[in-house]
Structure 1
Amino acid sequence: MENVRKRMDMELVSCNRRLQKLINRSTFKYCTTYSENLNAVTLEKKIINFCKPIYIGLAVLDISKSLMYDYHYNVMQKHYGDKIELMYTDTDSLVYYIQTNDFYEDLKNNNNLLERMDTSNLPENHPCYIAERKKIPGLFSDETDGLVMTEFCALRSKSYAYILNGKEKIKAKGIRKHVVKNHMTFSDHKKCLFEEKGENKRENVSIRSFNHQLTTIRTNKITYNNYDDKRVVLEDKVHTVAHGHYSLKKDELEDDWPELDEEGHNWTGEEKGLMRLLLRE
């Protein structure tokens, strides 16, 4: 959704007198010089017309979360119980590890699963194929087109790799396609995750335009980074918990203010816990 606050007025000026007038205005933002007698003056708008309902973006994200949570807890987890594990999630997608003989056989034999799926992308001879549900909002589709995902490795949001039908598939937001295709591998994802290499950089080559002058730029961009600030990664590097999870609170209290455990203080365990709580407040 467009942010109307960012709208600007721009005027091309070739007259020095007109240029000086625009620069003296209170709405003057900046000036770009193209030549001795041509300048582009950028001005902020005096009046902003809020004609774009930006709150729709917030509403859509909240509705999406409700739909995703309902599908995860009331459909998938309710059906599979402890035989299903959520490996990765995004705004509109879920990656599951399911312990079952045949997921599509489960779809075929359970209407509560099949009625929430859009199976129009499966082969026409597939037993779960239903063409009438194509692109219906609110239904989930199988992005693997019926193939089997054998391995999956996610480093952080928008950065993961998996092996599908023996072929590597890599998703890395913000990285050039030729870098993803020629320089990134699934094994490198696993090394970054488990061997604590931190971050790895690759050279990106791009053509940019500055003041209508084309320039070739070489930049080093992070391709692998195992730091995930959206979740708390546990010691096994596989499982994560949410920030503020109850299992973390005890460890956090023990790590804060270690001077309470120094020699010379006759604190009981209950007194130490109470003192830490008071200090945190």
Structure 2
Amino acid sequence: MEDIRRHRNVKLMTDQKKLVKYTSKPSFDHFQIFNQHLVGIENKKVNILLNKPIYVGQAILDILKALMYEFHYKNNEAHVWRRYSIAFYGYSLCYEIMTDDVYKDMEIIKDHFDFSGYPQTHYLFSNKYKKMPGKFKDELDGVPIKEFVGLRPKMYSLIYDDGNTEQEKKTAKGIKKCAVKKQLKHANYKECLFQNVSTMNSMKLIKSQNHELFVNHIVKKGLSNFDEKRFWINHIKSYAYGHFKI
């Protein structure tokens, strides 16, 4: 959400008198010299109109967590799946489910799902909740996941069969998509999880400094199986802080 307090007044100066005028103000904060004829002056805003609800960002996350807990504890656990385990939990849920037909089970709680991405020939297909907030979506729209590795929130990899070939879907927070696609494989995620082998990934970024574009080559830590927001029993099993078993 936009933070009004961070707004600044920025002016480009070519006149020395105006430069002295704006740098002499109590609100003066910063300057940047671009060349011998051009200087940027940054002044803090003297008056601020707080017309943006900055608490909305936190409220959305709280509502999201409440929605996910309600789905998991009230609907899922009580009515549908008796044998399951949570493979991954963040702003999405990944379950390992032991059942005869998972899609028949999902039909029981279909009002919690947006099935608009499913093939139209699938008996669960429906546009009733298409793009409706508060509804869950199937990650692969009806295609079963063959293998899943979850390292941290927004850092996971899965394998699925699209009918012709075996495909991989990978995400890694903090790493550019092009680097994830070219440098990371599903095997790297498994190696990181089971052998505690982190990766170093390189990427090129286009940046601007003093209005001059340049390419910056950076190398940073990529895959890591350590999540500081969880209490770890071993390198695979963990509990949320506050869990009664800790």
> Residue 16 of structure 1: CA displacement?
1.8
- 2-structure distance, mates of 1:215, 1:136: 42
Instruction: State the 1:81 CA deviation.
Output: 5.0
What amino acid is the match of 1:99?
M
User: CA deviation digits over 1:163-205, x for unaligned, max 9?
Assistant: 12221110012212221111101111111112122x3211111
- In structure 1, the partner of 2:238 is 240
Partner of 2:144: 148
Partner of 1:27 in structure 2? 27
Three-state SS of the structure 1 residue aligned to 2:60 is helix
Question: CA offset at residue 208 of structure 1?
Answer: 0.8
Deviation at 1:82, TM superposition (A): 4.3
Question: Could you say which residue in structure 2 is the equivalent of 1:251?
Answer: none
2:125 to 126, 129, 136: 129
Match of 1:263 in 2: none
1:91-240 pair list within 5 angstroms: 91=91, 93-108=92-107, 110=108, 113-165=109-161, 166-197=166-197, 199-235=198-234, 237-240=235-238
Structure 2 Cα separation of the partners of residues 79 and 195 of structure 1: 38
Q: Verify the 8 A CA contact 2:157 2:189 in the aligned structure 1.
A: yes
1:239 offset after TM fit, Å?
1.6
Equivalence for 2:64: 64
CA distance in 2, matches of 1:179, 1:161: 14
1:36 aligns with 2:36: yes
Q: Does the CA-based 8 Å contact 2:81-2:97 persist in structure 1?
A: no
1:244 Cα deviation from its structure 2 partner: 3.5
Q: In proportion to residue count, which structure has more helix?
A: 1
| 1:5 match: secondary structure | helix
In structure 2, distance between residues paired with 1:79 and 1:131? 24
Secondary structure, aligned partner of 2:236: coil
Could you tell me which runs of 5 or more consecutive residues in structure 1 were left unpaired when the two chains were aligned.
249-281
Aligned mates of 2:242, 2:65 — CA distance in 1: 19
Shift of residue 126, structure 1, vs aligned partner: 0.9
Secondary structure of 1:224 counterpart: coil
CA 1:138–1:245 in 2, change beyond 3 Å: closer, same or farther? closer
8 A contact 2:205–2:216 mirrored in 1: yes
> Retained in 1: the 8 A contact 2:81–2:105?
no
SS of the residue aligned with 2:96? strand
Give the Cα–Cα distance (whole angstroms) in 1 for the partners of residues 51 and 102 of structure 2. 47
Matched residue type, 2:231: V
> Matched residues in 1 for 2:111 and 2:242: separation?
35
**2-structure distance, mates of 1:100, 1:205:** 46
TM-superposed CA distance for 1:10, in Å, is: 0.7
* Letter aligned with residue 56 of structure 1: V
- Percent of matched pairs sharing the same residue: 33
Query: Which amino acid in 2 is paired with 1:131?
Result: N
Q: Residue 225 of structure 1 aligns to a residue in which SS?
A: coil
- The alpha-carbon deviation at position 155 of structure 1 amounts to 1.2
The one-letter code of the counterpart of 1:120 is S
Q: In structure 2, what is the equivalent of residue 85 of structure 1? A: 85
| 1:77/1:84 contact within 8 Å kept | no
State the TM-score, normalizing by the size of structure 2.
Answer: 0.92
**Larger RCO, structure (CA 8 Å, separation 6 or more):** 2
